[in-house]
Chain A
Amino acid sequence: MNIAFNSPYFRKPASVRSVMLRVLLALLPGIAAYVWFFGAAILVQIALASAAALAGEAAILRLRDKPVWLFVSDGSALVTGWLIALSFPPIAPWWMVVVATLIAVVIVKHLYGGLGQNPFNPAMAAFCIMIVAYPQLMSQWPAAGHHGDFAAQMQLIFGGGERQLDAVTMATALDTLRTALHSADSHATVHGVTSSQPTFGMFGGNGWEWVAAAYLLGGVWLVQQGIITWHIPVAFLAALAAAAGLAHGIAPDRFAGPLFHLFSGGAMLGAFFIATDPVSGATTPRGKLIYAAGIALLAWIIRTWGAYPDGIAFATLLMNICAPLIDLNTQPPVFGHKNDKKP
């Protein structure tokens, strides 16, 4: 008699791999929009990140004496790699994405115990390390509509030496606005800046607003698929919109409006793909709301008053630290104990 495993004797055909693959699928609309507006360079970066993620994962798994194929094929390293590629400037030198991915996979993920154990979001931790270490390289973004310059982009990624930037790069919308509003003697207003500079689009960054819209599309599909619940994206976007809306309502010249914040920088990617990382985030329904709103508020604060143009990555790490505490204090009531008094 074979009694090697116990009930339940059958299971839903679910796997970590199918979860991760669907996350990758959900990123495809965003990537398509990215290529449309900013050229194919991002595909090269994704390829670099994927290679680094798989190689790094395989190497560290072998060092840790873990089953290599089982974990390499789960897709989690690929998700980390893709998120890094998508949050880095697509024209950054090739080694930046590679180094960042190796940091994420080897140090942030595996040195903390591997899949399911890391207290910090690997992609965001790596992003923070790189932006602190290479602030210059991390702020060189391509201008929308230059996707014809693939050769020039390749030169920037793989060519060493002096980087010829002026032709293809442009400060991002968040960066431009922040610089303008922070300059002490300026009489700049939000409206004045956003209506006069080509980096601004209809409501967000030029081109980026559509990439963000595509992320939103993929994210909604993830919710529909049950891979993520609505709590984190809704709380994230609502908190960001509320903070921006309130400030904009009080001083419209000094603070950008909610739509601009939602569709600029990493907001959509953050709301649906980064804050939703279950390993490093809060897990209870109420906890998810607090956690995601916390990231959004911190990100808005960093965007508005901080030293960096965007703040999703720093905000995510800060809230990662709080996740266990949030979970502990937001445990949902158990069946039959709904009317129990709190101890």
Chain B
Amino acid sequence: MNALRKLFRFNGGVKPSYNKEPSTTEPIVDFLDVAGMPAEYVIPLHQSIGGVPHPLVAPGEHVKKGQLIGGPDGFVSSAVHASTSGLVKAVEHRLMPHTSGLTALCVVIEPDGKDEWIEHAPVPWRSMAPDEVRDALRDAGVVGLGGAVFPSYLKVNPGKKGALDTLVINGAECEPFITCDDMQMRQYGETIVRGAGILRDLTKAGQVLIGVEDNKPEAIAAMNAALKATGEQRIEIVPVPTRYPAGGAKQLIRVLTGIEVPHGKRSTDYGVQCFNTGTAYGIYEALELGRPLISRVVTVAGNVERPRNYIVRFGTPMKDLMNVAGAKPDSDRVIMGGPMMGFAMPSADVPVVKATNCVLVGSPALFPPPPPEMPCIRCGECAKVCPTDLQPFEMYWFSRAKIFGKAQEYHLFDCIECGCCAYVCPSRIPLVDYYRFAKSEIWARENEKAAADQARTRYEFRMQREEREKQEKAAKLAAKAAETKAKLAAAGAAAPEDDAKKALIAAAMARAQQADKAAEAAPAAEAAQPQAPQE
């Protein structure tokens, strides 16, 4: 390999205690082999960034393993499949694996125990048009398994130039406790390398760099061996310095290529793209085996007797994983993800989903509540460790004061919420909470403003419509009056008129004249649209 590859560095970062060893002593095993089927799989339909897939099955229906149960909805959306064969017990709202404690639509499957695959066949991706391959990936439900769960098909794109310079495969796995990528690289390196090869061909990448933090020597060795065994070309395993958050997509792209992709920009515009190793594995399975994404490797770690990695079907309750791993009695929380960026679950009953890279069990001893918050002393530790080169204490200041415009000026939305700032803060300020708060407030205000704008537009349009209708009615009346006048005139010529009739006709004529004027004005008003009527 190219031992002289020049690596770049990102500023900041921290070195927390990694706690990765305990869950790497045993190989990955299929969770079904140790625990059997749960009583039911609760499969949320919304498991990726983007539109909520619509349910394609109804209660009482029988489904097979891998059967499409949630159809992608909208441009950014990804399909969802049955994790096993069985009966659809319900399509109903269940508690989601999210801190909010909100419910969302789930397909509840009672396994029939046969675990019977739906008919599936390899996708002849080499002979297909790029759009068709993307559709296949969308329908296979492949999303980014590093935690962001962005639909992968949208990223399988050679960019404006028609070919990527560098494809980055992210095996850095910088979060403490999590070892699912590490173990998958050790055990399934060849599949990952083959998946990387597919992505290389689909994105027409000049080179593929698989970045792995250098605290995973076994994974690096296994990947190099896999590379040799598969004979894939233009792929290189690159050990990167261990420093959280080296596994952030932007940080890893920076380390490997020197390119900084700004917030809100497509990395393909810069000739790079980044996929997680687990996603590369999923893409291989989806295209070469025709298997949709119905499971993933999940690390169970923290306050458990037997930390380990399992292949877990989506919809398995986290509680089952905790039971098998032996959660200790003093456990007080379940975190999805790692200790730096993970989220506390509202209950252990929530299901494992595509975003679940780790089920981290906490206890007061392992994750003690922080000591009381002190005022910010502007010491600048947070700025030193920020991998995005922000001034976190300034953003904190303005977020706390609800001066959101200023917070945005200090690049609030460039914040990746990695938690480095809060990790080092001597005043123990939960800085990331303030940024999350500020971001959601800004989004809420933008939504409110958009809603208000829409309401105003709607109101103005209605006013215009009513005015137009009034004028149209007047024009119609005028026409009718003119007709009546003509009729009366004809009748008048035939019969002598009395005084009363004369007066009636005069009045009708006056009305008709008025209506004529209105009819003339109507087209002018029509032309003045869509401006608001002047009142």
Which residues of A are at the interface with B, using a C-beta cutoff of 8 A?
Answer: 1-12, 14-16, 18-19, 67, 70-71, 74, 76, 114-117, 229, 278-279, 283-284, 327, 331-338, 340
Contact = CB atoms under 8 A, between A and B. Distances in A.
A115 B414 CA distance: 29
30 contacts: A1-B334, A2-B332, A3-B333, A3-B344, A6-B99, A6-B432, A7-B337, A7-B342, A8-B419, A8-B422, A8-B423, A8-B432, A10-B367, A12-B16, A15-B428, A16-B426, A18-B426, A19-B377, A114-B375, A115-B377, A116-B377, A331-B410, A332-B391, A335-B254, A335-B387, A336-B260, A336-B261, A336-B263, A336-B265, A337-B414
Given A283-B380, A333-B389, A335-B262, A12 B347 contact: no
Contact of A9 (B367, B378, B387, B389): B367
Contacts of B332: 1-2
B335 A9 contact: yes
B36 interface: no
A338 B433 CA distance: 27
A5 B369 contact: yes
Nearest to B376: A116
Contacts of A327: 394
B178 interface: no
A76 B376 CA distance: 13
Given A1-B334, A5-B430, A11 B379 contact: no
Given A1-B344, A2-B332, A14-B426, A7 B375 contact: no
B324 interface: no
B375 A116 contact: yes
A315 to B, nearest CB: 20
Given A9-B342, A334-B389, A335-B414, 15 more contacts: A3-B99, A3-B345, A6-B430, A12-B423, A16-B377, A70-B374, A116-B374, A116-B375, A278-B378, A278-B379, A334-B388, A335-B262, A335-B387, A335-B389, A336-B250
B362 interface: yes
Contacts of A14: 381, 424-426
Interface in B95-141: 99
Interface string B247-266: 00010001000001111010
B339 A7 contact: yes
Contacts, number: 151
B391 A284 contact: yes
Contact of A335 (B10, B17, B371, B394): B10
Interface string B341-374: 1111111100000000000001010110111101
B424 to A, nearest CB: 5
A283 to B, nearest CB: 5
Nearest to B385: A12
Q: Is the interface of B mostly helix, strand, loop or mixed?
A: loop
Contacts of B367: 9-10
Nearest to B17: A10
A335 B381 CA distance: 17
Contacts of A67: 372
Interface in B255-286: 260-263, 265
B153 interface: no
Given A4-B369, A6-B344, A6-B430, A338 B99 contact: no
Nearest to B259: A336
A116 B432 CA distance: 19
A2 B432 CA distance: 19
Interface string B421-449: 01111111010110010000000000000
B379 A19 contact: yes
B390 interface: yes
B150 interface: no
Interface string B7-27: 000110010110000000000
Interface of B: 10-11, 14, 16-17, 99, 176, 250, 254, 260-263, 265, 332-335, 337, 339-348, 362, 364, 366-367, 369-372, 374-381, 383-384, 387-391, 393-394, 410-411, 414, 419, 422-428, 430, 432-433, 436
A70 B176 CA distance: 31
Nearest to B386: A335
A324 to B, nearest CB: 10
B487 to A, nearest CB: 73
Contacts of B427: 15-16, 116
Contacts of A71: 374
B503 to A, nearest CB: 76
Counting chain A CB atoms within 10 Å of each CB, the highest count among B99, B387, B425, B433 belongs to B425
Q: Which 9 A-B pairs have the closest CB atoms?
A: A336-B262, A116-B375, A8-B419, A3-B344, A9-B367, A9-B339, A14-B426, A335-B388, A336-B260
B391 A331 contact: yes
Given A9-B362, A117-B375, A229-B380, A332 B389 contact: yes
A279 B425 contact: no
A116 B378 contact: yes
B379 A1 contact: no
Contacts of A3: 99, 333, 344-346
Contact of A283 (B14, B393, B422): B393
A7 B335 contact: yes
A1 B250 contact: no
Contacts of B430: 5-6
A18 B374 CA distance: 13
B391 A10 contact: no
A117 B387 CA distance: 27
Contacts of A340: 262
Nearest to B343: A7
Contacts of B377: 16, 19, 76, 115-116, 278-279
A70 B371 CA distance: 10
Given A12-B14, A336-B414, A5 B250 contact: no
Contacts of B263: 336
A19 to B, nearest CB: 5
A214 to B, nearest CB: 24
Counting chain A CB atoms within 10 Å of each CB, the highest count among B14, B375, B428 belongs to B375
Contacts of A229: 380, 384
Nearest to A67: B372
B345 A1 contact: yes
B341 A8 contact: yes
Contact of B378 (A74, A76, A279, A337): A279
A335 B419 CA distance: 16
A7 B432 contact: yes
A336 B388 CA distance: 8
B341 to A, nearest CB: 5
Contacts of B262: 335-337, 340
